[in-house]
Protein backbone atom coordinates (compact mmCIF):
# COMPACT_ATOMS: atom_id res chain seq x y z
CA UNK A 1 0.00 0.00 0.00
CA UNK A 2 1.09 3.51 -0.58
CA UNK A 3 0.49 6.49 1.64
CA UNK A 4 1.69 9.99 2.07
CA UNK A 5 2.11 11.55 5.49
CA UNK A 6 2.43 15.20 6.28
CA UNK A 7 3.03 15.23 10.04
CA UNK A 8 2.44 18.94 10.52
CA UNK A 9 -1.18 20.00 10.16
CA UNK A 10 -0.40 23.66 10.72
CA UNK A 11 2.80 25.69 10.80
CA UNK A 12 3.31 29.36 11.67
CA UNK A 13 6.46 31.18 10.69
CA UNK A 14 7.57 34.79 10.70
CA UNK A 15 8.07 36.56 7.42
CA UNK A 16 11.67 36.23 6.38
CA UNK A 17 12.25 33.08 8.38
CA UNK A 18 13.16 29.77 6.83
CA UNK A 19 10.57 27.08 6.24
CA UNK A 20 10.56 23.31 6.06
CA UNK A 21 7.44 21.26 5.45
CA UNK A 22 7.75 17.56 6.02
CA UNK A 23 6.50 14.78 3.78
CA UNK A 24 7.02 11.05 4.21
CA UNK A 25 5.80 8.40 1.83
CA UNK A 26 5.29 4.69 1.86
CA UNK A 27 5.70 3.14 -1.54
CA UNK A 28 7.26 -0.08 -2.80
CA UNK A 29 9.00 1.31 -5.86
CA UNK A 30 10.70 4.50 -6.97
CA UNK A 31 8.17 7.20 -6.29
CA UNK A 32 7.23 10.18 -8.36
CA UNK A 33 6.88 13.01 -5.89
CA UNK A 34 5.16 16.35 -6.07
CA UNK A 35 4.50 19.41 -3.97
CA UNK A 36 1.44 21.55 -4.66
CA UNK A 37 0.23 24.79 -3.14
CA UNK A 38 -3.41 25.77 -2.81
CA UNK A 39 -4.66 29.23 -1.91
CA UNK A 40 -8.14 29.51 -0.35
CA UNK A 41 -10.85 28.66 -2.85
CA UNK A 42 -8.34 27.95 -5.57
CA UNK A 43 -7.07 24.92 -7.40
CA UNK A 44 -3.65 23.34 -7.08
CA UNK A 45 -0.47 24.89 -8.36
CA UNK A 46 2.55 22.69 -8.91
CA UNK A 47 5.59 23.90 -6.99
CA UNK A 48 8.04 21.19 -7.99
CA UNK A 49 8.34 17.53 -8.83
CA UNK A 50 10.84 14.71 -8.61
CA UNK A 51 10.99 11.86 -11.06
CA UNK A 52 14.64 10.84 -11.06
CA UNK A 53 18.18 12.23 -11.10
CA UNK A 54 19.37 14.98 -8.81
CA UNK A 55 17.70 14.53 -5.45
CA UNK A 56 17.59 18.26 -4.77
CA UNK A 57 14.83 19.76 -6.85
CA UNK A 58 14.28 23.43 -7.48
CA UNK A 59 10.79 24.77 -7.96
CA UNK A 60 8.91 27.97 -8.48
CA UNK A 61 8.64 30.83 -5.99
CA UNK A 62 12.00 30.00 -4.44
CA UNK A 63 10.99 26.57 -3.13
CA UNK A 64 13.15 23.48 -3.19
CA UNK A 65 12.73 19.92 -2.02
CA UNK A 66 15.10 17.08 -1.34
CA UNK A 67 14.36 13.44 -1.98
CA UNK A 68 15.90 11.17 0.63
CA UNK A 69 15.29 7.55 -0.19
CA UNK A 70 16.78 6.29 3.08
CA UNK A 71 14.29 8.36 5.04
CA UNK A 72 11.39 8.02 2.59
CA UNK A 73 11.07 11.75 2.72
CA UNK A 74 10.54 14.62 0.34
CA UNK A 75 10.63 17.75 2.49
CA UNK A 76 9.87 21.16 1.06
CA UNK A 77 12.06 24.12 2.00
CA UNK A 78 12.29 27.82 1.44
CA UNK A 79 15.08 29.97 2.90
CA UNK A 80 13.01 33.12 3.40
CA UNK A 81 9.23 33.05 3.59
CA UNK A 82 7.07 35.84 2.17
CA UNK A 83 3.61 36.76 3.41
CA UNK A 84 2.19 35.61 0.09
CA UNK A 85 3.36 32.07 0.82
CA UNK A 86 0.54 31.61 3.32
CA UNK A 87 -1.52 28.76 1.87
CA UNK A 88 -2.17 25.05 2.07
CA UNK A 89 0.61 22.76 0.90
CA UNK A 90 0.09 19.23 -0.34
CA UNK A 91 2.65 16.54 -0.93
CA UNK A 92 1.68 13.83 -3.42
CA UNK A 93 2.99 10.53 -4.72
CA UNK A 94 2.22 9.49 -8.26
CA UNK A 95 2.28 6.03 -9.73
CA UNK A 96 1.14 4.36 -12.90
CA UNK A 97 -2.05 2.35 -12.69
CA UNK A 98 -3.80 0.41 -15.40
CA UNK A 99 -6.05 3.40 -15.89
CA UNK A 100 -3.17 5.83 -16.06
CA UNK A 101 -1.34 7.72 -13.41
CA UNK A 102 -2.94 8.26 -10.04
CA UNK A 103 -2.04 10.48 -7.19
CA UNK A 104 -2.04 9.89 -3.49
CA UNK A 105 -2.19 13.12 -1.55
CA UNK A 106 -1.05 13.91 1.93
CA UNK A 107 -3.47 15.57 4.29
CA UNK A 108 -1.87 18.95 3.78
CA UNK A 109 -0.03 21.49 5.88
CA UNK A 110 -1.53 24.89 6.44
CA UNK A 111 1.06 27.67 6.52
CA UNK A 112 0.49 30.94 8.35
CA UNK A 113 2.99 33.75 7.91
CA UNK A 114 3.13 36.45 10.57
CA UNK A 115 4.66 39.88 9.99
CA UNK B 1 1.46 24.64 -21.99
CA UNK B 2 -0.87 22.41 -20.06
CA UNK B 3 -3.91 24.35 -19.03
CA UNK B 4 -7.03 22.81 -17.57
CA UNK B 5 -10.19 24.80 -17.04
CA UNK B 6 -13.36 24.10 -15.12
CA UNK B 7 -16.79 25.59 -15.51
CA UNK B 8 -18.51 26.88 -13.56
CA UNK B 9 -16.14 28.06 -10.88
CA UNK B 10 -18.99 28.37 -8.42
CA UNK B 11 -22.55 27.06 -8.46
CA UNK B 12 -25.43 27.22 -6.03
CA UNK B 13 -28.41 24.96 -6.56
CA UNK B 14 -31.51 23.74 -4.81
CA UNK B 15 -31.73 20.32 -3.27
CA UNK B 16 -32.99 17.73 -5.73
CA UNK B 17 -31.64 19.39 -8.85
CA UNK B 18 -28.76 18.16 -11.00
CA UNK B 19 -25.57 20.08 -11.63
CA UNK B 20 -23.06 19.60 -14.43
CA UNK B 21 -19.41 20.56 -14.06
CA UNK B 22 -17.15 20.72 -17.09
CA UNK B 23 -13.44 20.03 -17.20
CA UNK B 24 -11.52 20.99 -20.32
CA UNK B 25 -7.92 20.59 -21.37
CA UNK B 26 -7.34 23.76 -23.34
CA UNK B 27 -4.07 23.13 -25.15
CA UNK B 28 -3.64 19.38 -25.18
CA UNK B 29 -5.61 16.20 -25.64
CA UNK B 30 -6.26 14.21 -22.52
CA UNK B 31 -7.22 10.57 -22.82
CA UNK B 32 -7.52 10.37 -19.06
CA UNK B 33 -9.00 12.84 -16.64
CA UNK B 34 -9.59 12.55 -12.94
CA UNK B 35 -12.23 13.96 -10.61
CA UNK B 36 -11.47 14.82 -7.01
CA UNK B 37 -13.54 16.06 -4.13
CA UNK B 38 -12.19 18.21 -1.36
CA UNK B 39 -13.91 18.92 1.93
CA UNK B 40 -13.02 22.04 3.90
CA UNK B 41 -9.61 21.87 5.51
CA UNK B 42 -9.03 18.41 4.07
CA UNK B 43 -7.04 16.81 1.32
CA UNK B 44 -8.23 15.79 -2.11
CA UNK B 45 -10.12 12.54 -2.44
CA UNK B 46 -10.09 10.80 -5.81
CA UNK B 47 -13.63 10.09 -6.92
CA UNK B 48 -13.16 8.57 -10.34
CA UNK B 49 -10.95 8.18 -13.37
CA UNK B 50 -12.46 9.27 -16.64
CA UNK B 51 -11.25 7.64 -19.85
CA UNK B 52 -12.18 9.03 -23.23
CA UNK B 53 -14.64 6.80 -25.02
CA UNK B 54 -15.18 4.37 -22.18
CA UNK B 55 -16.86 4.14 -18.80
CA UNK B 56 -15.36 5.89 -15.85
CA UNK B 57 -13.70 3.95 -13.09
CA UNK B 58 -15.05 4.89 -9.69
CA UNK B 59 -13.26 4.67 -6.40
CA UNK B 60 -14.70 2.57 -3.65
CA UNK B 61 -17.55 4.26 -1.88
CA UNK B 62 -18.35 6.70 -4.69
CA UNK B 63 -21.86 6.27 -6.08
CA UNK B 64 -21.65 6.04 -9.86
CA UNK B 65 -25.35 6.78 -10.26
CA UNK B 66 -24.96 9.88 -8.14
CA UNK B 67 -21.87 11.23 -9.83
CA UNK B 68 -22.20 10.70 -13.56
CA UNK B 69 -19.03 11.12 -15.55
CA UNK B 70 -18.85 11.49 -19.30
CA UNK B 71 -15.62 11.83 -21.27
CA UNK B 72 -16.99 12.30 -24.75
CA UNK B 73 -13.96 13.95 -26.33
CA UNK B 74 -10.24 14.21 -25.80
CA UNK B 75 -10.58 17.66 -24.29
CA UNK B 76 -13.75 17.46 -22.25
CA UNK B 77 -14.96 15.49 -19.26
CA UNK B 78 -18.14 16.30 -17.37
CA UNK B 79 -19.23 15.45 -13.86
CA UNK B 80 -22.96 15.58 -13.19
CA UNK B 81 -24.11 15.54 -9.61
CA UNK B 82 -27.61 14.10 -9.83
CA UNK B 83 -30.37 14.92 -7.36
CA UNK B 84 -27.97 17.00 -5.34
CA UNK B 85 -28.32 17.24 -1.57
CA UNK B 86 -26.63 19.53 0.93
CA UNK B 87 -24.10 16.83 1.80
CA UNK B 88 -22.88 16.99 -1.81
CA UNK B 89 -21.70 20.54 -1.20
CA UNK B 90 -17.98 20.52 -1.71
CA UNK B 91 -15.06 21.69 -3.82
CA UNK B 92 -14.67 19.55 -6.93
CA UNK B 93 -11.35 19.53 -8.77
CA UNK B 94 -10.52 17.83 -12.03
CA UNK B 95 -7.14 16.97 -13.49
CA UNK B 96 -5.92 15.74 -16.83
CA UNK B 97 -3.02 13.62 -17.96
CA UNK B 98 -1.05 15.07 -20.82
CA UNK B 99 0.55 12.65 -23.30
CA UNK B 100 4.27 12.41 -22.73
CA UNK B 101 4.04 13.82 -19.22
CA UNK B 102 3.99 10.47 -17.55
CA UNK B 103 3.00 10.33 -13.93
CA UNK B 104 1.97 13.95 -13.89
CA UNK B 105 -1.47 15.48 -13.73
CA UNK B 106 -2.50 19.03 -14.52
CA UNK B 107 -5.21 20.40 -12.28
CA UNK B 108 -8.15 22.64 -12.96
CA UNK B 109 -9.01 25.58 -10.70
CA UNK B 110 -11.89 23.77 -9.03
CA UNK B 111 -15.66 24.24 -8.75
CA UNK B 112 -17.36 25.21 -5.53
CA UNK B 113 -20.77 23.51 -5.29
CA UNK B 114 -23.26 24.64 -2.69
CA UNK B 115 -26.55 22.79 -2.40
CA UNK B 116 -29.24 24.59 -0.45
Please indicate if any CB of chain A lies within 8 Å of the CB of B42: yes
pLDDT at B37: 95
Interface contact flag, B104 A99, Cβ < 8 Å: no
What proportion of chain A, given as a percentage, has pLDDT over 90? Answer: 68
- The CA distance from B33 to B102, in Å, is 13
Please indicate if any CB of chain B lies within 8 Å of the CB of A52: no
* pLDDT(A101) > 70: no
Interface contact flag, B102 A44, Cβ < 8 Å: no
Q: CA nearest A5: which of A115, A114, A112, A107? A: A107
Mean pLDDT of chain A: 90
More confident residue, B46 or A103: B46
Q: CA nearest B3: which of B65, B112, B81, B94? A: B94
Contact A65, A36 (CB under 8 A): no
Testing the interface with A: which of B44, B92, B109 to mutate, by most A Cβ within 10 A? B44
pLDDT at B103: 65
* pLDDT(A1) > 60: no
Q: What DSSP line would sit under B49-85, residue for residue?
A: EEETTS--EEPTT--TTTEEEEEEETTEEEEEE-S--
What proportion of chain A, given as a percentage, has pLDDT over 70? Answer: 90
Q: CA nearest A35: which of A16, A18, A52, A21? A: A21
* Residue range B86-102, pLDDT digits in tens: 999 999 999 998 877 66
- The CA distance from B115 to B93, in Å, is 17
Q: CA nearest B93: which of B76, B109, B77, B71? A: B109
Testing the interface with B: which of A49, A100, A105, A112 to mutate, by most B Cβ within 10 A? A100
Contact A108, A97 (CB under 8 A): no
pLDDT band at A2 (very low <50, low <70, confident <90, very high): low
Interface contact flag, A95 B103, Cβ < 8 Å: yes
pLDDT band at A100 (very low <50, low <70, confident <90, very high): low
Please indicate if any CB of chain A lies within 8 Å of the CB of B46: yes
* pLDDT(A41) > 90: no
Chain A nearest-CA residue for B49: A99
CA distance between the termini of chain B: 38
Question: φ and ψ at A71, to 5 degrees?
Answer: -105, 0
Buried b / exposed e over A86-110, threshold 16 CB at 10 Å, is bbbbbbbbbbeeebbbbbbbbbbbe
Contact A111, A86 (CB under 8 A): yes
pLDDT at A16: 97
Amino acid sequence: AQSVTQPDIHITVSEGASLELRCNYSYGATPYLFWYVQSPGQGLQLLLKYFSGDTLVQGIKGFEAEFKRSQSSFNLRKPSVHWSDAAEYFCAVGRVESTGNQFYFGTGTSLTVIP
Amino acid sequence: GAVVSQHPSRVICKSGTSVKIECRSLDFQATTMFWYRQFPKQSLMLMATSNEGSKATYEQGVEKDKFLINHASLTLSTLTVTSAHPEDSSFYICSAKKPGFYNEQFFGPGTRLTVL
